[in-house]
Chain A
Amino acid sequence: RKEVEQDPGPFNVPEGATVAFNCTYSNSASQSFFWYRQDCRKEPKLLMSVYSSGNEDGRFTAQLNRASQYISLLIRDSKLSDSATYLCVVTTPGGSSASKIIFGSGTRLSIRP
């Protein structure tokens, strides 16, 4: 089982729709959680951190469910510019040194007019 798993998609939704996707993680000791977006042939960019209480940034809402070991990203009123790959990132306690940072393989989202 992968340490971090995402549905690769693609999710193809009309403009204005609400879309949500999840990311599951296997290590219950995981500490920090983030969502990144990556446009085609570009670098990943931090979209938002995910806090235990859940957090919202405009049309984007991120939630953490520790009991079921997943994080979610909800996008409301989707725009054409939201088309991208969304990567979830989980930090787990490392071995001898730093924490281990694990990237999911990404979920592709395509918004159609």
Chain B
Amino acid sequence: DVKVTQSSRYLVKRTGEKVFLECVQDMDHENMFWYRQDPGLGLRLIYFSYDVKMKEKGDIPEGYSVSREKKERFSLILESASTNQTSMYLCASSYVQGNNQPQHFGDGTRLSIL
């Protein structure tokens, strides 16, 4: 079974802090994704990566950055956290897009910015 592990289930941080969300997958997937999910807005793609050291902006990248130094790990960084970044953050991974493989999600991180 695919295992996607997010570092924290719940996280509380303060406005202005730099926040790191970590995601690790154990299936040697090329693609990794970060989403946020908010009531009434569904899943929105923040960033994705299709290879080590590669990254592409999703639909809402503002206020975020990412890092993919190793294939199995994809980090989401909130450079200076703001209250409107309080949300559920979901990491996902999949095999190469060319095969249109489904995504597998981690448990999610509920982040609260105070």
Contact with B along A26-52 (1 / 0, CB 8 A): 000001101000000111111001000
B103 at the interface (CB under 8 A from A): yes
Number of interface residues of B (CB under 8 A): 22
Those of B86-114 within 8 Å (CB) of chain A: 88, 90, 97, 100, 102-108, 110
Q: A34 contacts B105, CB within 8 Å? A: no
Chain B residue contacts of A106, Cβ below 8 A: 42
Query: Which among B31, B48, B105 is the interface contact of A44 at CB below 8 angstroms?
Result: B105
Among candidates A43, A91, A97, A101, residue contacting B45 with C-beta atoms closer than 8 Å: A101
Instruction: Report which of A43, A89, A99, A103 forms a contact with B107, defined as CB distance below 8 A.
Output: A43
CA distance A46 to B88 in the complex (A): 18
What A residues does B107 contact at CB under 8 A? Answer: 42-43
Interface of B is mostly: strand
B43 contacts across to A, CB distance below 8 A: 44, 87, 103
Task: Say yes or no: A45-B100 contact (C-beta < 8 A), given A98-B31, A98-B50, A103-B42.
Answer: no
Q: Inter-chain contact count A-B, CB under 8 Å?
A: 47
In the complex, which residues of chain B have a beta carbon less than 8 angstroms from the beta carbon of A99?
97, 100
B42 to chain A, nearest CB (A): 4
Cβ distance B3 to chain A, nearest Cβ, rounded Å: 12
Tier of interface size on chain A = 20 to 34
Most buried by B among A43, A87, A94: A43
Which of A32, A46, A94, A103 is within 8 Å of B104, CB to CB? A46
The reply to whether the CB of B56 lies closer than 8 angstroms to some CB of chain A is yes
Q: How far, in angstroms, from A104 to B43 measured CA to CA in the complex?
A: 8
18 interchain pairs, CB-CB under 8 A = A32-B102, A41-B110, A42-B107, A42-B108, A43-B105, A43-B106, A46-B102, A49-B102, A89-B103, A91-B97, A97-B56, A98-B31, A98-B48, A99-B97, A101-B33, A101-B103, A103-B43, A105-B42
